[in-house]
Each structure stands twice: as C-alpha cells, then as structure tokens.
C-alpha cells in the first residue's frame, strides 16, 4: 500500500504503507478417506489464495489461505517436466509442500531512506511458483497374490474375502487388480490384492504385468500361487523361478519380500500327485510348499496363519509417524538476452521477470526504481554488450519499452 501518516497535529507524517500478505502454499496430503485421483483428473488446476493488501499504519496484509490437495494414501508425486519424484505419500497424514506462495509486495514505508523520504510507490506481490505435477497411485494392499495366468489367484481372493472378481478358465480373465478385505478369527484384518497379468517378459511390458507390477511394490507379503493342475507341460518349479526373476528384473527389492508359496488345485488327483513329487525339490531350495485348493478351501487356514505371521513381523518393523516432505522449488531460468526482428531485445530469466511482475509500471517513481535495479543486476550492461542503441525496443515479460541511454536520461521511457 502507498500511504502517508495523517493524524491530528501531524498533517505531513511520513510514509506508512504496509506490506502485502504472503500468497498461499500448495500442499498435498495423504487422506485415508480418499480412494481415487478422479477428482484431480476432472479439476486439475489448483492454486493458493492471494495475500491481502497492506494497510496504513504499516499494517501487514493477511496471508493467503493454503491450497490443500487431498489424495489417497499411496500416491507418488512427480514433477511432470523433470520426472523427479518429489514425495511418496505412503502413510496416512504424509504431506508434501509442492509450491510456496509468493511474498507480499513491500509498501512505500519500506522504500523510505535518507535520499528518498517520501516514496510514492509500492511493490506488487511476488508471483507464486508454478509447476506441473504428475500423480501416480499405487494400490496399498498388505498381501499381494502373484502367479502366472490361470493359477487361481482370483478364486483364492474370492475365498478369503468378500471380493467377487471375474473367474474363467482362460488366460487374462482378470484385467485389473482386485482388492478384498480378509477378516480372521483373531480380530485382525488385512487387504489382499490379486495382481493380474504377470508372464515371462512382464518387466519389459509383455502381457499386463508391467502395468501392475508396480502395485506389488506396496505389499508387505506375497502369496506366490503355483498351478499344479494339468497340462503337464507347465512345470511349477520353472514357473516359480521365472516369476521371481521377473520381480527382480522389475525391482530388485521385490525379490526380498517375504513369500508364502502355495501349490494350488490339489483337489485334482494329478495335482496332488505332482505336489508329492515336487515338494522335496522346493524344500531343497529352502521353500516350504503349502498344499491348498482355492476351489474347495483345503489348506487355506494354514495359508492364512503363515501370512499373518509374516504380516506381524513386517508391521512391527514399519511403524512410523507421518512424514512431511518439502519439494525443491522449480528450477530458476538464467537471465538471457535474445534479439528478435519483431520484438527487439528480449530479456528472459526468472529473476528479472519476477522483478518486472512486482513493479507498478504505471508509476514513474516505480519505473525509476526498476531502472536502478536493472542496472544493479547487470541487465543494462548485458544489453549494451548485445549492441542495443537508443530507441530500440526492450521486452521483459509483459513489459515493453524503448531503451534510453542511462547517461543521457537516467531511466527508460
């Protein structure tokens, strides 16, 4: 604000215009009540509120309200231009400050000095930061069921939970991950997910696996389901090794997750026979093979107890308070000068463009102050080195003027 003190017996008081308030920040917070990012897809542009104007009496304006964006737990925040991961909001309450609001412009009281005792100009507010974000949601499930197509993953999820995925006897029946809640007799529960479409070459994009392998990264325990039913050309041992290889190629940390390995479809006589023949081979590899039948429910109690045992260990190690991330600011663009036939000398750069945006170009005193700042920043020197002459056009952001040599006039027109 531009203001001068006017009180009784002091009709010619000094400048007392206050500074403007700071603009609101943009904060992303993980909210367990949110399930999708659909709201942001439909309304993608968000901004913090503007700060309030300064007032007389050197009163500072009110700060603008922050813009809080609530997203599901498990959301990853990327800078869309650099692909830099800014935050991984994997716990309820995790937050990330992605953009800071611009500072308020200084009132005329801030520009008073011995040589300028009555400034009649003030700064405009600093433009807020801008950036494009890419948000990616990874499903948060405690237990992931992996296995080659038709291993019985959907049937197992439907047996253990109330989820009702599509079940059929052809590959790639399940096209999207299926989530279900499992409740046990010990008053504990966990979320189980059927991870579809993982085949040989999934880490490189074959099948549907590359699309859904990322969801496995969020799970604490894996149920590795092997198909022991005919035809005989499928070897459960090879399937086990191949799938673990795909996990390691996609992300080496996936191969370190605890696995409960289950031999499925033992309700078929041939499957039970194969189990007896191969159990010792898995045991030699240090793998305990659990016999189950997802169709009849055989062996599921033991499977659940093993899963719960691993979950208790993982949950005890992963307890942590909500984290607060502060994203690095958008990269500042260096000051450059280019010459255009239509626009003349074009000055670009984050610092100089911000200076122009905060200057009231309709105020002669503000323009004089701008010229002084441009000289201090070395912009005038750069223009001279670029060959500028009196009368040439200069463009900085939205500001256009004719250049006038400072030695003759002292300010641009």
**What is the SS3 assignment for 410?**
coil
Note the pTM of the prediction, 2 decimals. 0.67
Please name which of 32, 31, 215, 88 lies closest in space to residue 139, comparing C-alpha atoms: 215
Question: For residue 66, is the peptide bond before it cis, meaning its omega torsion is within 30 degrees of 0?
Answer: no
Instruction: Return the SS3 of 49.
Output: coil
Which tokens in the block code for residue 251? 């992300």
221, 257 in Cβ contact below 8 A? Answer: yes
Separation CA 215–CA 263 (nearest Å)? 23
pLDDT exceeds cutoff 60 at 208: no
- 325 bridge partner residues: 96
> Could you tell me what percent of the chain has a pLDDT over 70?
87
Cα distance between residue 107 and residue 116, in whole Å: 14
Question: Which pair of tokens denotes residue 267?
Answer: 């309700």
Residues 318-369 pLDDT 10s = 666 888 999 998 888 899 998 877 778 999 999 999 999 999 988 999 988 9
Alpha-carbon distance 331 to 328, whole Å?
8
Adjacent-strand bridge partners of 72: none
Per-residue pLDDT at 204 exceeds 60: no
Joined tokens for residue 35: 């399930």
User: b/e per residue, 46-72, with b = 16+ CB within 10 A?
Assistant: eebebbbbbbbebbbbbbbebbebbbb
Residue 62 has pLDDT above 90, yes or no: yes
Predicted confidence (pLDDT) per residue in 366-391, tens digit: 988 998 999 999 999 999 888 888 88
Lowest-pLDDT range, 2-16, 80-94, 188-202, 380-394?
Answer: 188-202
What domains are there in the chain, each with its CATH number?
Answer: 26-137 (2.70.210.12), 143-317 (3.40.50.300), 336-402 (3.30.300.350)
- Strand 336-340's sheet: what is its strand order? 336-340, 344-348, 393-396, 399-402
Phi–psi pair at 270, nearest 5 degrees: -65, -35
Q: How high is the pLDDT of residue 69?
A: 96
pLDDT interval class at 107 (50, 70, 90): very high
The answer to whether the Cα torsion of 184, 190, 191, 194 is positive or negative is negative
Nearest to 90 by CA among 180, 248, 220: 220
Q: Indicate left, alpha or beta for 115 from its phi (over 0: left) and psi (-120 to 50: alpha).
A: alpha
């Amino acid at each position: 604000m531009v203001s001068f003190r006017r009180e009784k017996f002091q009709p010619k008081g000094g400048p007392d215009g206050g500074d403007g308030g700071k603009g609101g920040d943009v904060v992303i917070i993980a909210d367990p009540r949110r399930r999708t990012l659909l709201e942001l897809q439909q309304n993608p542009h968000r901004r913090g509120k503007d700060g309030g104007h300064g007032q007389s009496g050197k009163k500072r304006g009110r700060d603008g309200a922050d813009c809080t964006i609530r997203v599901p737990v498990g959301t990853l925040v990327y800078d869309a231009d650099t692909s830099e991961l800014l935050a991984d909001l994997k716990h309820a309450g995790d937050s990330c400050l992605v953009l800071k609001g611009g500072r308020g412009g200084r009132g005329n009281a801030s520009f008073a000095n011995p040589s300028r005792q009555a400034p009649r100009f003030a700064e405009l507010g600093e433009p807020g930061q801008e950036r494009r974000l890419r948000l990616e949601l990874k499903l948060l499930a405690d237990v992931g069921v992996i296995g080659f197509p038709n291993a019985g993953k959907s049937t197992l999820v439907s047996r253990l939970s109330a989820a009702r995925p599509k079940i059929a006897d052809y590959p790639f029946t399940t096209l999207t991950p299926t989530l279900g809640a499992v409740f046990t007799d010990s008053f504990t529960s966990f979320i189980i997910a059927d991870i579809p479409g993982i085949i040989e070459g999934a880490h490189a994009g074959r099948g549907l696996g590359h699309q859904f392998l990322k969801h496995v990264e969020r799970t604490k325990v894996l149920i590795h389901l092997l198909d022991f039913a005919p035809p005989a050309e499928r070897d459960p041992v090879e399937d086990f090794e191949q799938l673990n290889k795909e996990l390691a190629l996609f992300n080496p940390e996936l191969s370190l997750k605890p696995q409960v390995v289950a031999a499925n479809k033992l309700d078929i006589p041939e499957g039970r026979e194969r189990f007896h023949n191969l159990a010792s081979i898995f045991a030699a590899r240090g793998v305990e093979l659990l016999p189950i039948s997802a169709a009849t429910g055989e062996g599921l109690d033991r499977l659940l107890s093993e899963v719960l045992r691993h979950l208790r260990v993982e949950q005890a190690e992963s307890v942590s308070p909500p984290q607060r991330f502060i994203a690095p600011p958008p990269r500042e663009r260096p000051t450059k000068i280019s010459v255009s036939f239509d626009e003349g000398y074009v000055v670009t750069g984050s610092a100089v463009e911000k200076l122009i945006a905060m200057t009231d170009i309709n105020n002669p005193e503000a323009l004089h102050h701008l010229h002084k700042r441009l000289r201090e920043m070395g912009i005038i020197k750069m223009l001279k080195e670029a060959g500028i002459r009196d009368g040439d056009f200069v463009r900085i952001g939205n500001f256009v003027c004719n250049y006038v040599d400072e030695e003759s006039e002292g300010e641009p027109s």
